[in-house]
Amino acid sequence: MPKTQTYKLPRSGVEREALRKKGQFWTPDWTADIMVAYVLQEKPARLLDPALGEGVFFRAAKRYARSHDFDLALFGRDIDPEVIGQARMSGLDNHDLQNVEMRDFVLDPPSELFPAIIANPPYIRHHRLSAAQKEHLREFARKATGRHIDGRAGLHVYFLIRALQTLAPEGRLAYIVSADICEGVFAHALWQWICSQYRLDVVIAFASEATPFPDVDTNALVFLIRNAKPDKEFDWVKCLDRDSKELTAVVVGRHQKNYNGIQVHRRLLSEGLATGLSRPPSDGSKYQYTLGDFASVMRGIVTGDNEFFFMTSAHAKELGIPDSLLVKAVGRMRDVQGEYFDPEDVSRLEDKGRPTRLLNVNGVPFDKLPARVQKYLEDGEKNGLPDKTLIKTRKPWYRMETRKTPPILFAYLGRRSARFIMNRADVVPLTCLLCVYPKHASSDFVEHLWKVLSNPETIGNLKKVGKSYGGDAIKVEPRSLERLPLPDDLVRMEGLAKYLTPRQGALDFGEI
């Protein structure tokens, strides 16, 4: 019997970076067994794994076919020649690997359709793809779906489209992937196409303690999809522990009344698409107000090179940079400890040697700058700063992005630290924080708005608009934050409703 393999991800360094470039993060055996049970339940003759990796799905498929007494031919693809050796080390032999080809699955697909496909695609984010790769992939997606797929889609998105195209009629696909596939800007167009052409049977989400990838800062989902007429409902399952027996029963259609290690929800497809397939079902709450009614949101400042532009006040004095050419700033989320950021916090950071001053010479001609500041900029130019990706788009290259001081800051990425912060130190944030600009400048309005935003009920609504990551982390982008639902009773209690003309009818969060 082939041995199973426990694969431990390197946490950092060269090995971890190599995995990121290849997009390789291996699926554990217990998860593979669940996925295999779905695609092989009707005992198909052939199985395709288009991203072979170290062969976990082949091993699981062999176990399943042997225990259910049927013959199964294994087909695979990959573009990394090293995986063949890794697959052999995991227990596969030449017979298992005889139909594996070193070919690009997306751009050089198989000529035949398969009744069963199972995949953990390469997770390569869009910024690691070349401009030429992006262009080829977007053109492929446009022809396949008839829709525009935003250029911020990673390779795993295109892999899913090709896998569905390669699925035989009534064939089954099991696909494990990060939650951003249904949370990114491309998600609406992608899933509208998928759910209009294919049947979404099951979506499996994982509690943090049951995640298949405990060392990866991403939230995994498993999609079980059939090449059949779309249904109006699907099963949404939350896996609470790693006991696969209950999950396996659900994916093959054997439901029961009570579960211990999973939660099962039968959901309307329309509700799931509106709410987000990575998110739990709508609780039916309706909201009349969103943050965007009362404030606008912008990202923090991108310097292009924090080491050069962001410094301590002591270092600025050493360089001869006057205060008039510096802006008070905060550069790390963890530099803000609570829900208030005061002048004393700026002093605390300075005492710890943390930078709090941002160089900003905007509006001052170079020849009017102090001689030592001119020298500092000349040194930066000699060190190649004008050629850096973000900086080279600026004229002059040392021109800094500007932000008005935001009365409220938002810590947008964290596990249990996502929060709104009252900015009493008059700092501007770098990209670690978002800027929240209330639409009314009065201090009373700002204070009442902050009380609504910092309420636990409002914070709980962040999951309705944010992107989910590993360990229950959540990330909220500026436009998404503006769609944050605000509880009606809190808005009225804090007296904010009088600043607005109420909308016609309430909105549920699925419309947001």
Largest CA distance in the chain: 84
- Pairwise CA distance, residues 19 & 187, whole Å: 25
Contact status, residue 445 vs residue 407, Cβ threshold 8 Å? no
* Closest by Cα among 44, 55, 112 to 84: 55
Q: How confident is the model at residue 413 (pLDDT cuts 50, 70, 90)?
A: low
> 173 and 204 in contact (C-beta within 8 Å)?
no
d(Cα 118, Cα 35) in Å, to the nearest integer?
A: 7
* 434, β-bridge pairs: 299, 410
User: Does residue 1 carry a pLDDT above 70?
Assistant: no
Specify whether the CB–CB gap between 453 and 291 falls below 8 A. Answer: yes
Topology of the domain covering 23-229 = Rossmann fold (3.40.50)
- Correct CATH for 291-364+398-511 of 3.40.50.620, 3.90.220.20, 3.30.10.20, 3.40.47.10: 3.90.220.20
Whole-model pTM: value is: 0.75
Where in the chain is CATH 3.40.50.150? Answer: 23-229
Strand locations in 240-353 (E): 262-268, 286-287, 289-290, 295-299, 310-311, 326-330, 340-341
Q: Are strands 467-468 and 474-475 parallel, antiparallel or unpaired?
A: antiparallel
- Residue 87: pLDDT above 50? yes
Residue spans in the chain of domains classed CATH 3.90.220.20 = 291-364+398-511
Least confident of 220-224, 296-300, 504-508: 504-508
**Phi, psi (5° rounding) for residue 333?**
-60, -40
DSSP run (H or E) holding 430: none
**Which of 313, 316, 303, 302 minimizes the C-alpha distance to 370?**
316
**Quick one: CA torsion of 296, 431, 209, 239, rounded to 10 degrees?**
50
Q: What is the pLDDT of residues 194-245, one digit of tens each?
A: 999 999 999 999 988 888 887 666 788 999 999 999 999 999 999 998 877 8
Residues 6+ apart with CB under 8 A from 91: 2, 3, 4, 5, 55, 59
| Model confidence at 285: pLDDT above 50 | yes
Around Cβ 283, how many Cβ atoms within 10 Å? 9
Does position 46 have pLDDT exceeding 90, yes or no? yes
Identify the bridge partners of residue 409 per DSSP, sorted by sequence position.
421, 435
Take residue 200 and report the two structure tokens written for it: 């979404």
Q: Average pLDDT over the chain, rounded to whole?
A: 87
Q: How far is CA 275 from CA 85, 271, 278, 413, 506, in A?
A: 43, 6, 8, 20, 16
Q: What is the pLDDT of residue 506?
A: 47
